[in-house]
Each structure stands twice: as structure tokens, then as C-alpha cells.
Amino acid sequence: MKAVEMRNQDKLNEEQLAQELLEKFDTESNFRQLGGIMKWVVYCILLAFSLFQLYTAIFGAFTAYIQRSIHLGFALTIIFLLFPPRKKGLKTRIAFYDYILALIAAICGIYWTLNYERLVTSLGTINQLDFIVGGLVILLVLEAARRTVGLPIVVIAILFLLYAIFGPYMPNFLAHRGQSLEQLVNLMYFSTDGILGTPISVSATYIFAFLLFGAFLVKTGVGEYFNDLAISVAGKLVGGPAKVAVFSSALQGTISGSSVANVVTSGVYTIPMMKRLGYKREFAGAVEAAASTGGQIMPPIMGAAAFLMVEFIGRGVTYWDIAKSAAIPAILYFTGIWIMTHFEAKKLGLRGLTDEELPNRKEVFKKLYLLTPLVLIIIIMMMGIPVIHAALYGILACIVVGFLNKDVKFGLREIIDALADGARTALGVAAATACAGIIVGVVVKTGLGLSLASGLVEIAGGNVLLTLFLVMIASLILGMGAPTTANYIITSTIAAPAIVALLAPDVPLSAVPVVTILSAHFFVFYFGIIADITPPVALAAFTATAISGGEPIKTGIHSAKLAIAAFIIPYMIIFSPQLLMIDVTVMEVLWVLLTAIMGMIAIGAGVIGFWYRRINWIERIILIVAGLLMVYPESLSDIIGLAIFGIMFAIQWFTKNKGEHKMEMAKNR
């Protein structure tokens, strides 16, 4: 009885720590904890938001302007009621000015519905009231994004707005004829090229449906089950806790598109476990941060930006195509982290978990039915059923599984709570996509995207590698201040066209192969994501240090080192699009996968400094070179890399006893 009470107390402490960390590092989780009547008013608005989205998902969306403006109106209204203007602002009640802002947001949200016929027949002209409403919406979107996502994306959006107005005064290739305030407001709220453009469209359909699905999964107890399953599978292996972190974070990534949320969810459990078994604080935090960040590239449910990719690429590409194409890169990413944690554990002589520290495996595997919603979604998407319907079927499966799982309380109240929770998690995405719509609108209207793409190619002198390197740096810098969704929107609009132009020179865009466009978009998508673990602003790594007690920059460096595959894979995708599994044979895919995994083994050993024994600096450099040769998708480099790999393997194998003898002597001393 006492043991049960202790476990319950530990669980309570973990949940409390998780909430504190989310509020500190994840802006989207820094919302008010209201009481009294306003708690239920906001709850009902959240519920109404979800019900509106479910209705349109089941019976079909309204016209673009109405669907998107109502979605935005709901999001803005709730944001001003739930999120304080300052991070340390009052969390228990709503300031009077936020009531005013929420009311204005609600009126602006239904403005299109009330004036639809006049606005669509006005031939792009607006009256004075339209101008005022449109201007208010721009300001509300900027403030809502600041509260939920952070200041950097707002600063970027304001700079783009200023660029739209002061275009004639810009130097050389950046100059354009400029936009008046009326033209700018018209573009931003009374066309589908600005705030009500493609980004908010995806938020109002696919993204919301899958966030709702994720909320239902959490209520069914799947999140906790992921940890138990990971421990059962990987706990007894060498350095088990680190591998548990990799495995559980990969699973958590299927229901969470946030690196920070993923770190907190599984890190409060895995990081202390790694420290107990001997991992250094910085390394323990880095393992969790690197693995959690990879959750956004983990099919079948990736980060929100993956849904945007479908719309941005077009050309008949479906979300299933994106998820399928992401499968091998995701395998390589997590394989790389797994390999390096293994070598680090071997180097430190760390053990796995004992039978006493493991959950009852028989009981854990009895609950594999909890994965049914995820499996069902994969099958449905493979059958070609629309993605939004796949999410709806997934939600129904969650409800069934919830009733079957006797370890959690699941009933009508939990279903209603899941609807409200799903709406709340959608607020940050709605604000980010609306704010990013401002940027996209300016880029499209002014031709800035083409100008910057041409300028980027010119700076790189037409060199593909140099262009890719510059795009990588730009994506990482943007990722330090903007969420992945906004980062992808900006880079796919500005940088991806430059990559396409270099990969398919003198070819009209309509004639460029889909795989080429997909490769370019995956490139910017990946680097936008790994900004979360790239110092100096490595948000996921810094979150992990709050749990591990390690030094933030050191943790960031370790996490970037562990996720080295993420810095290599995008280049592999560009030069070897077979990784995306489009128009390739099974043998081609297997060969690329085999050489890439062997390359990751060599690179991992070189980076960690251990294989079958400790490795000196010369051997480390040789192994890293061999790994890069195998990773590079070209037959000659593969053969040379494999030859070096074989020689180094033989040397390691025949001298491992010598290394073990030295380690034993060191321990005895």
C-alpha cells in the first residue's frame, strides 16, 4: 500500500514539474488558470470552437472566407481571454482590456459572415468600415501571436509590412512599387493571399482535426502507455534509460508536434532515470531533447508544418505522400541517436534496467490495443481516404479504446474535456499561421520571394552545395525565433524556390518533377525543426536542462552532436531523392538505407569516441570520413566508405580485448 502511495506521489510530482516547465519554456502553455464563472465561459467557447470544426470536418467546410475568418475569430477571442499580455502576468483573472480585445476579435471574426455577399461582389474595393476592421484584425493577429508564440515572429511580420509600404525606397533588387495602407489592409484581410491565406486554411481543417485526435489520444492513456512500452522493449539494453528516451520520444512524437512539450512529457521520467544509472546531466538532457525534437518528423502524424507542405507543394501530393516520404529520414534520424547513446553507454560501462525496475511486460503487451487509433489512421491514409476523415475515424477509435482501457477514467466528461483541450492546443497554431500569412502575403504581392531566391543563387554563384549551406543557416536562424510552422512557411516561400531553381535549371515550374520540389521543401522543413536543439537558442535543450540540472549551452552542444543525422539527412534527400520513396525500386531504397545506417554507425563511433573500445583521434577522423562517404549517395563513395568501414571494423574487433584490459586496469586503479 505504501509503495502504491509513493508511486502516486512521484507521478503527481512529475505532472507538477511538467506543468511548471511548460509554462516556463512553452509560450503556448502559459495560459491563465481561471476560476468561477469565466472558467466555464471560456470552457464553453473552447467547446463551441471544436464543435464548429467537427461540424465542418464531417459535413464539409464553408466557403474559404467564412471558414477561415470564423476559425480565426474563435482563436483570437479565446487567446485574449486565456493568455495574459506578459509571461508573468496575472493568471487567475482576466484584465478589463482583454475583455475588450476579445469582443473586438469576435466581431471581426463574424464580419465576413455578416457582409459576405457585399464583399465578394465588391471587386476588391473596400469601404471605410472594412478598412478599420481589416486594420484591427492585423493588430489583433500580431498581438495574439506575441502572446502565444513569442515576439520574434511578430517582429519579422512587422518588418515585412514595412517592406510592403516602403518598397520604392528599397535598394536595387529589393525595390518594388509599394503598397498603400488601404491596399495592404485589403490584401491582408479581404483576399486569400494574406491572413486568410493557405496557412490559416490548413490550420482550419487538417491541423485542427489532428490536434483534436492528439487530445483524445492523451485522454485514453496512450501517452503513459508509450513510456511503459518503451521501457519494456528497451529498458534492459545497455544504457537502457537513454534508449527508452529515444523510443518513447519517437512514439510521443506521433501525437505531439511540439519539441518542448515532448521533452516535458517524457523527460520528467526518462532524464532522472538516465542520471541514476550514470549518464552525465548534460548528456541525459541532450538525449531527451534530440529525441523529442525528432517527433516532428515522425510519421504518421508529424508536426503541423507537414500539413502545410501538402498545400504549398500542390501537384496532387497528399499528406500520405509526405508521411511516406518522411519514413526513411525519420528512421535514420532516430537510428543515429540510438547508435550514439549505445556507444556512450558502452564507453561509460552503463547497465540496463533490472527486472525489478521494469514494468510487468506481460501486462504491457496486453495493452497493445491502445495503439489501434494510430494503426487505423495509417491504414486509412494508405487506402486514399481524405486526411481529415482519417482524423475523424482516429477520434472514434480513441473513444472506443478509451472505454476499453480500465486503467484510466473515460466517459462523457473526458470526451467533452478532450474537445476543449484540442481547441486550446490549436490556439498557438492558429495565431502562428495567421501571422505567417502576413509574411506570405507580402512575399507574393511584392515578388520578394523571387527576388530573394535569385539573390541567394547569385550570392552562391550557382553552386548547389553553397546555396544549400546558406539556406540551412537561414532556416536555423529563423528557427531560433519562430515556431516550426512559421519557419517552414517563410523558408518554403523564399528559400525552397532557390533550391528548385538550382536542381532544375531552365525548367518551367510546372514541368519540375514532384520529387525535386518535395526534396527542396523537406530540406527547409528539417532545418527549421532542428533549430530547437541548435545553440545558442536551443529551446528543447534548455527545457531539458530544467529537468536534468545541467548547463544549458553544453546540453545544446551535446544534443546537436547526438542529432548529427539531422544535419546530414537533408543533404542526402537533395542528392538522393530515393530516400523519399518516390519512383524507386525496393532494391534502390534498401541499398541507400543500408549504406546510410552503416554510415551512421561509423559517424556515431567517431563522434562518441568508442566502438568496441576507446578510439583515438586519428581513428575517429577516419571513421567520420568513412561514414560521410557511405552516407553520400553515390556508388563509388559507397564502395570506398564500405572498404574503410570494413578495415576499421576488423581493427576494432581484433583489438577490443586490449581496450577492455585497459579499462579494467583503470577501474582497479
Nearest alpha carbon to residue 76 among 139, 154, 27:
139
- Rounded CA gap, 523 and 500, in Å? 11
Q: How confident is the model at residue 22 (pLDDT cuts 50, 70, 90)?
A: low
Which residue did the predictor score with more confidence, 267 or 667? 267
On the 0-12 / 13-18 / 19+ scale of CB atoms within 10 A, 441 is: buried
Position 29 scores a pLDDT of 66
Residue 614, SS3 per DSSP = strand
Position 274 scores a pLDDT of 84
Position 296 scores a pLDDT of 81
Residue 576, SS3 per DSSP = coil
Nearest alpha carbon to residue 634 among 582, 569, 576:
576
pLDDT, tens digit, for every residue of 35-85?
Answer: 889 999 999 999 999 999 999 999 888 899 999 999 999 999 999 999 998
pLDDT at 666 over 50: no
- Rounded CA gap, 215 and 249, in Å? 17
Which residue has cell 506570405? 440
- Rounded CA gap, 312 and 500, in Å? 14
pLDDT at 484 over 50: yes
pLDDT at 535 over 90: no
> Phi-psi bin for 172: left (phi > 0), alpha (psi -120 to 50), beta?
left
319-328, 497-506, 620-629, 648-657: the lowest-pLDDT one? 497-506
pLDDT at 5 over 50: no
pLDDT at 541 over 60: yes
pLDDT, tens digit, for every residue of 491-518?
Answer: 888 788 888 888 887 777 778 888 888 9
Q: How confident is the model at residue 423 (pLDDT cuts 50, 70, 90)?
A: very high
> Phi-psi bin for 355: left (phi > 0), alpha (psi -120 to 50), beta?
alpha
Position 3 scores a pLDDT of 42
Total residues found in the chain within this entry:
669
Position 45 scores a pLDDT of 96
Q: Are 581 and 327 in contact (CB under 8 A)?
A: yes
pLDDT at 12 over 60: no
Strands in 35-110 per DSSP E: none
Q: Are 493 and 167 in contact (CB under 8 A)?
A: no
Residue 582, SS3 per DSSP = coil
pLDDT at 130 over 50: yes
Q: Report the run of H or E that residue 45 belongs to, with start and end.
A: helix 36-59
- Rounded CA gap, 113 and 408, in Å? 42
Mean pLDDT over 612-617 rounds to: 89
- Rounded CA gap, 138 and 504, in Å? 37
User: Cell triple for residue 503?
Assistant: 536542381
Position 110 scores a pLDDT of 95
pLDDT, tens digit, for every residue of 198-233?
Answer: 889 989 988 898 889 888 988 888 877 887 888 888
- Rounded CA gap, 439 and 149, in Å? 15
pLDDT, tens digit, for every residue of 243-289?
Answer: 888 888 777 766 666 677 778 777 887 888 888 878 888 888 888 88
Position 516 scores a pLDDT of 87
Which residue did the predictor score with more confidence, 662 or 21? 21
- Rounded CA gap, 287 and 344, in Å? 11
- Rounded CA gap, 479 and 330, in Å? 19
- Rounded CA gap, 62 and 648, in Å? 63
Position 4 scores a pLDDT of 43
Give strand pairing partners of 614.
Answer: 610
Residue 5, SS3 per DSSP = helix
Nearest alpha carbon to residue 545 among 87, 21, 30:
21
Nearest alpha carbon to residue 343 among 659, 558, 565, 611:
611
The DSSP 8-state label assigned to residue 301 in this structure reads S
Residue 408, SS3 per DSSP = coil
Q: Report the run of H or E that residue 67 belongs to, with start and end.
A: helix 64-82
pLDDT, tens digit, for every residue of 556-606?
Answer: 888 888 888 888 888 888 888 878 887 778 888 888 888 888 999 999 999
Which residue did the predictor score with more confidence, 407 or 165? 165
Nearest alpha carbon to residue 183 among 490, 446, 430, 489:
446
Position 7 scores a pLDDT of 47
User: Cell triple for residue 564?
Assistant: 548529427
Nearest alpha carbon to residue 191 among 152, 269, 134:
134
Mean pLDDT over 393-410 rounds to: 89
Mean pLDDT across the chain, nearest whole number?
84
pLDDT at 124 over 90: no
Q: Are 236 and 358 in contact (CB under 8 A)?
A: yes
pLDDT, tens digit, for every residue of 314-365?
Answer: 878 888 888 888 888 888 888 888 888 888 888 888 777 777 778 888 888 8
Position 363 scores a pLDDT of 85
Residue 550, SS3 per DSSP = coil
